[in-house]
Every structure is written in C-alpha cells, then in structure tokens.
C-alpha cells in the first residue's frame, strides 16, 4: 500500500543496553527500508539516560542516521521520552513510535502499524504483539486499567488464581485471545504507536512517574480525549523485558508499586477506602516480592536459626539428660539470644551475602564466631550462662546440621537441573564465531571456581560456503542451515542462540528468528534466547556486572529518581574503604608477609612496594583497573570516563576487572566495570570480589 508522505518518528530511551540497542536499530533499519518503498519517511531519535557503557560513542559511527540526545543524568523513562517526543514533533512526525531499546522489530512492523493507523483515524494509540525472547506472549502488551476492582484482584492474587475469568483477570486481560485485534484500556510502553494529535492533546507522559505506570496513565488520558486504544495482533516484536533495570541499581519492585499507587491516587483518589486497601496490598506484595528475590538468603537464615535452636535442645539433653536444662525464667531468652548471635555471626562471616550462595566454609566460620561471642556473654549474664559442655555440643551439632543442609540443597540443585550447562549455538560461519566459541569455553565470573556452564553445541550456517576468514579446523561442528532454525533448536535443546553473521541481510536473519521464537514458544518445551554478539569483552563485562548488580538495594536505589550518585564520592564509604586499606596493608606487611614471600618469591619486592603504596594512600587493595597501554591516553584526557573515575577511586591491587582476565578486555569494557565499582561500592562488594578471586586462584594453582 502506497502512503502519501507519511512521516514517522521512532523514539527510544536507552540506559546501559548498547548491545541490545544496536540490534534494535539494525532491525529498525530493515523495517524502515521496506517502509521507504511505500512512501514513509522515518526519523530515529535515541535519548540516552546517562548510560555508563559508552552507548552513544559505540553506536554513532554504525548508525549515522540516528539522532542521539545525551542527557547528563537519568531523568526517568517518561521525562526522557518527552524530550524525544518534542524533537519528533519539531521534525513534523505524524506518528510517533515509543519503543524500548531491548526489542527486535519485524520487517513488516512499521509498515503494518502505519497501514492500521491510516485505516483507523479514531485510534490514538496502538500496540502490537510482544513476545519474550523464548517466543512466549508478554501479558503487558495489552492491559486493563488498574481500577479499584482490577487492582484488588491483581494485588491479592485473584487474577493469578482465575486467569480465564473476565471478572477477576481484568488487569492483564488473560481471558482474551492474543491472536485477535481489539480495543483495550492500555498497551505496553515497550511499543506504543501514537498519533500526533493524540500526543499533543495530552502533552506526553506524566513525569511524576519515574518508571512504570506512565504508559497506563498516557493511555488513560488519551481515552479521556475521545481516542481509542487498540491491540493489533498482525505483527510482532521480540522484547527482552527488563534488561535496563537488570543492568542498573534501580529498585524495580519499589518503582512498580509506587507507580500503581500514583496512578490510583491520580485517577481514583476520591475513594480513601480503595487507597487504603491498595497500600496494604502493595505492602504485602512488595514484602513477598523481596522475599522471593532473596528467598535463598532468607531460607538459609531461617534454617540456620531452627538448626541452632534444635542443637541447643539436643546438646542440653546429651549433657544434662533433659531437654529443658535451663531455669524456667531463661526461656525464651536463651533461644532469642542464640538466634540473634547466630545470624549476626553468619553475616560477619560473609554468609547470606546477596552476591554468593551460602557455603559450608562460611557457615562454620560464623559458628566459630558465635562460640566466642556466647562464651564471652556467659561472663556478663551468669543467670543465663551456657555450660561449656552444652555450648560445645550446640556448636558441634550446629556445624553438622548447617553443613548437611547446604550440601543437600546443592545436591538437589544439580538433580533438578538448576546447575545445568547452557547449550549455545552460533548463527554465522566466520572467524568471530570461532573466537567466541573458544572464549565461552572459559568459565566466566558467574561460575568462577566451577566448571564452565556454557557448552557450544555447534554453528548454524547462513550460506552454503564458508566465509574467507573461517579456519579450516572448526572447534565445534556445523549443525545445520538457518532455514531449519526451529528444528535445530528443538533437536539440540539449544538455550541460547548468538548471532555473529555479517553476510546475510539482517532482515532475513530477523525473519528466521521471529519464526523460530514464535514456533518454539508455542509448540515446544525448548525455548531459546536470541542475542546479537558484537564484542566478546562487552559480553564478559555484562556478565560480571550481572553477577553483582541484581541484588544491589539501599540508599542509591531509593535516591535514583533524583539522579546518579557515586557511592565512593560519599565520605562514609571513602572512610570505610581507607580503614580497610590501612588494616589490610598492616596485616599483609606483618602477619601476612611470610605468605607473600612464599607464594610469589619472584615478585616479592614489587608486591611489597604495592602494599606500601596502599598504606600511603596511593593505591587501594581493591579498586580500579588501569591498563598500562592506555595510561598515555588518559593523560591526554581522551578516556574521560576513566580520568573522572580516578578522581573518586584509586587503582587497586585487584578489583572487579580481575574477576575475568583483564588483559582480554577492551578499554570500553574496563571503563564499564570501573564505573560500576565506583558507583555501587559497598563492603559486601569488596568481600565478594576477594572470595571470588580466592577461589579462582585456588582453582588455577
């Protein structure tokens, strides 16, 4: 269908997902190429929310047609989109597509949406079918408004219990078919095709919403202006949901429920009873969400408390011949004291860390700390004093019990397959595939101290002949042609497909991916995730960060809406870090000096000199990594990010980059890791880096 000079603007807000954004822009290029033949003129506007992964510098040369707007701080999804909307309207766009960077557009998507909007002038906003990376349907692409009843059913779980009920499932509309086109209350913010007149009538997103809820609010206000909101099933988009929040310290749970409350207060604020019930439900759901996110930590903490109190009863019975061996007034005080001391000691030993699974070694260290604390307390509270025999039995039985629990859980994990290796296939028969296959055979940060959990199954070709740069001897076999992608995924049980091909047109590759994703999601239990790989070092940096970032909460997450904050810029963190450096350096130069001499005799002088640098404040035990070959560049202020970070942190004897082989990382990847460390520094982070590196060293020696 030929259009008469239709202008479309695609507005994308990016935050630390340059790899996904690159794939998104490539898919847009293919889709817009088809539209150009139909008379559609398109602008692509990327608003960068102060990314720290070098997104703008990385993508500008590859996509010169894109207009990049770089912001000085993370202003939130709604406000950043409004900035892009203003630019789009200035350019004369008749339709504005609000698009997430973690999406892959089908070749016919823009064409189909323009045709639909042209044929339905009463529609103000339209959305299409959104699919997860494994081909399953995303419920958020078409929703009902969170009315008092819909919110009650959503928050209190009635929707989950009765997904096919029109009465209870109004919010996610799970009673409706995903393969029909119909009017809805709202479509998801990951893909919103908006008519210019509708956008101008409501003046864009409400900037009170930092993240989440702004799409619902926009659809609500557009409907109030008399426009329709439509879900269009005839075209689909793959959406890697939640990637931006996973690569940041944004408190996703907090902002989601805050957004729901803001929406309810704004549009249903007259009902105080509803708001009270909603707040109560949000509090319960938030608590459950946090418990779910930290279920391992809470579960082991509860188990340890139960084990230690049981050990106390059993130890008392073995020593005194009766379970209740303390005076009656001592109960339940002794149980409370034992529980508190156990938990605090475990935490002091590094157990329950959000960065590492509980381990027998740390649990036993915590119990030894408990033993000394409880022994000391008996001198101050003699009326509640444990006898020495009961205390020894309690700790001994506790060590056995905590070890059994941890070993059993680890064994069960392996039995049920949670530790199963990821099965990876590559699309592309070139040297880049061989390089990535060899690199992925090396355990990355998330599996340090273990065998690699990534297995490269084979190569999926896109041409009958090999490329010129393909080696004669391949490290993995060729398992088929891309035209049989769905069958290959099912046959070889592929978990992840990484695209490295540069020969086949991107539009053709995306078409195969779309077909395979939808087919495997609907008909097969094998669901593969599709990713586009550019530089392996960026993949490694992302995985290192992902190991740590998912569980960062606290003051920074709470202050995120007000802008970016570097933890190492705060005096309390700098003070803690300096104290640790001094104590650690003194320990190494005294008690630990024989270990330094015995372990690294050829490098003894250099090691000792580096420790003296730490003691004098020139370096840090754990800090930033600075490759020698980019030092002159920093002097010339070319690497502005690293130069800025060195004003806050210090070069470390070890650090986050050392979790992988830092010599294999590019300067951009190193900058990303340095930026992450300075921004999200905590004592837990230092402890976990040391533990990770210790086991890596032990494994190699």
Handedness of CA 304, 307, 313, 315 (dihedral sign): negative
Q: How confident is the model at residue 157 (pLDDT cuts 50, 70, 90)?
A: confident
pLDDT band at residue 290 using 50, 70 and 90 as cut-offs: low
The answer to whether 6-144+184-250 and 422-534 have equal CATH topology is no
Closest CA to 649 of 574, 585, 541: 574
**pLDDT at 471 (0 to 100):** 58
Average pLDDT, the chain: 77
Sign of the torsion angle spanned by Cα atoms 305, 311, 317, 319: negative
Mean pLDDT is highest, among 137-141, 230-234, 372-376, for 230-234
Rg (CA), the chain: 29
Q: Which residues contact 153 (CB under 8 A, 6 or more apart)?
A: 159, 168, 169, 170, 171
Pairing of strands 40-48, 66-70: parallel
- Full-prediction pTM beyond 0.75? no
Residue extents of the structural domains in the chain: 6-144+184-250, 295-416, 422-534, 547-700
Distances from the Cα of 408 to the Cαs of 305, 354, 399, in angstroms?
17, 20, 14
> In what helix (H) or strand (E) does residue 580 lie, and over which residues does it extend?
helix 571-589
How far apart are the C-alpha atoms of 605 and 626, rounded to whole Å? 21
Tell me what pLDDT residue 424 has.
86
Tokens 């946090």 sit on residue? 290
Identify the pLDDT of residue 681.
83
Burial of 464 (0-12, 13-18, 19+ CB in 10 A): exposed
Closest CA to 389 of 325, 304, 309, 307: 325
Q: Please provide the size of the chain in residues.
A: 701
pLDDT confidence of residue 200? 94
Instruction: Give the model's pLDDT for residue 436.
Output: 74
At the fourth CATH level, which superfamily is domain 6-144+184-250? Spore Coat Polysaccharide Biosynthesis Protein SpsA; Chain A (3.90.550.10)
Q: Return the DSSP state at 386.
A: P
Confidence of residue 609 (pLDDT cuts 50, 70, 90): confident
- pLDDT tens digit string along 460-517? 888 654 555 555 666 778 888 888 888 888 888 888 888 888 778 776 787 788 777 6
CATH node for 422-534: 3.40.50
> For residue 653, which of 618, 680, 681 has the smallest C-alpha distance?
618
25 vs 638, higher pLDDT: 25
Give me the pLDDT at residue 595, please: 63
Q: What is the mean pLDDT of residues 217-238?
A: 92
What per-residue confidence (pLDDT) applies to 182? Answer: 95
Residue 520: pLDDT over 60: no
Distance from C-alpha of 110 to C-alpha of 29, rounded to nearest angstrom: 11
Comparison of pLDDT for 556 and 298, the residue scoring more: 298
């Amino acid at each position: 269908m030929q259009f008469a000079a239709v202008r479309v603007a695609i507005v994308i807000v990016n935050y630390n997902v340059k790899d996904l954004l690159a794939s998104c822009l490539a898919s847009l290029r293919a889709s817009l190429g088809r539209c150009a033949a139909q008379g559609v003129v398109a602008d692509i506007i990327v608003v960068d929310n102060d990314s720290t992964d070098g997104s703008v510098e990385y993508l500008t040369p590859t996509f010169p047609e894109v207009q990049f707007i770089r912001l000085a701080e993370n202003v939130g999804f709604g406000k950043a989109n409004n900035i892009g909307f203003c630019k789009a309207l200035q350019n004369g766009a008749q339709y504005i597509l609000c698009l997430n960077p973690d999406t892959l557009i089908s070749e016919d998507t823009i064409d189909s949406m323009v045709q639909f909007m042209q044929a339905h002038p009463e529609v103000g906003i339209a959305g299409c079918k959104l699919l997860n990376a494994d081909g399953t349907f995303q419920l958020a692409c078409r929703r009902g408004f969170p009315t008092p009843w819909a919110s009650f059913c959503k928050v209190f779980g009635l929707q989950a219990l009765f997904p096919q009920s029109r009465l209870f499932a109004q919010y996610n509309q799970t009673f409706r078919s995903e393969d029909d086109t119909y009017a809805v209350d709202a479509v998801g913010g990951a893909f919103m095709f908006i008519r210019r007149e509708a956008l101008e009538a409501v003046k864009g997103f409400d900037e009170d919403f930092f993240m989440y809820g702004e799409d619902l609010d926009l659809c609500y206000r557009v409907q109030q202006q008399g426009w329709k909101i439509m879900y269009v099933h005839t075209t689909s988009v793959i959406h890697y949901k939640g990637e931006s929040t996973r690569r940041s310290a944004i408190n996703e749970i907090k902002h989601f429920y805050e957004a729901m409350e803001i929406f309810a207060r704004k549009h249903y604020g007259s009902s105080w009873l509803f708001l009270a019930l909603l707040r109560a439900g949000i509090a319960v759901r938030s608590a459950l969400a946090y418990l779910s996110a930290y279920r391992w930590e809470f579960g082991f903490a509860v188990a340890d408390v139960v084990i230690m109190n049981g050990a106390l009863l059993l130890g008392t019975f073995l020593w005194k011949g009766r379970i209740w061996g303390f005076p009656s007034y001592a109960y339940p005080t002794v149980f409370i004291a034992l529980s508190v001391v156990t938990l605090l000691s475990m935490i002091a030993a590094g157990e329950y860390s959000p960065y590492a699974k509980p381990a027998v070694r740390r649990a036993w260290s915590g119990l030894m700390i408990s033993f000394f604390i409880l022994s000391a307390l008996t001198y101050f509270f003699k009326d509640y004093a444990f006898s020495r025999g009961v205390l020894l039995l309690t700790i001994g039985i506790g060590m056995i019990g905590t070890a059994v629990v941890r070993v059993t859980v680890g064994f069960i994990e392996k039995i049920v397959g949670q530790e199963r290796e990821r099965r990876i296939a590559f699309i592309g028969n070139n040297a880049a595939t061989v390089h990535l296959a060899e690199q992925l055979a090396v355990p990355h940060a998330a599996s340090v101290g273990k065998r690699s959990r990534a297995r490269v199954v084979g190569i999926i070709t896109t041409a009958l002949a090999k490329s010129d740069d393909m080696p004669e001897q391949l490290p993995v076999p060729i398992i088929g042609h891309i035209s049989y992608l769905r069958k290959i995924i099912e046959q070889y049980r592929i978990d992840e497909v990484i695209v490295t091909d540069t020969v086949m047109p991107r539009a053709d590759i995306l078409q195969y991916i779309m077909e395979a994703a939808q087919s495997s999601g609907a008909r097969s239990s094998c669901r593969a995730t599709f990713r586009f790989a550019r530089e392996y070092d960026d993949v490694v940096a992302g995985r290192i960060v992902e190991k740590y970032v998912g569980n960062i909460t606290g003051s920074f997450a709470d202050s995120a809406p007000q802008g970016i904050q570097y933890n190492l810029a705060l005096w309390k963190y700098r003070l803690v870090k300096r104290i640790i450096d001094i104590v650690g350096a003194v320990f190494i130069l005294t008690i630990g000096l024989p270990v330094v001499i015995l372990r690294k005799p050829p490098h003894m002088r250099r090691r000792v000199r580096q420790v003296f640098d730490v003691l004098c404040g020139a370096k840090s035990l754990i800090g930033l990594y600075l490759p020698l070959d980019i030092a002159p560049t920093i002097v010339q202020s070319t690497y502005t990010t690293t130069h800025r970070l060195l004003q806050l942190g210090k070069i470390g004897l070890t650090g986050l980059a050392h979790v992988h082989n830092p010599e294999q990382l590019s300067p951009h990847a190193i900058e990303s890791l340095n930026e992450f460390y300075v921004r999200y520094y905590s004592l837990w982070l230092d402890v976990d880096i040391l533990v990770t590196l210790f086991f890596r060293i032990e494994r190699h020696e």
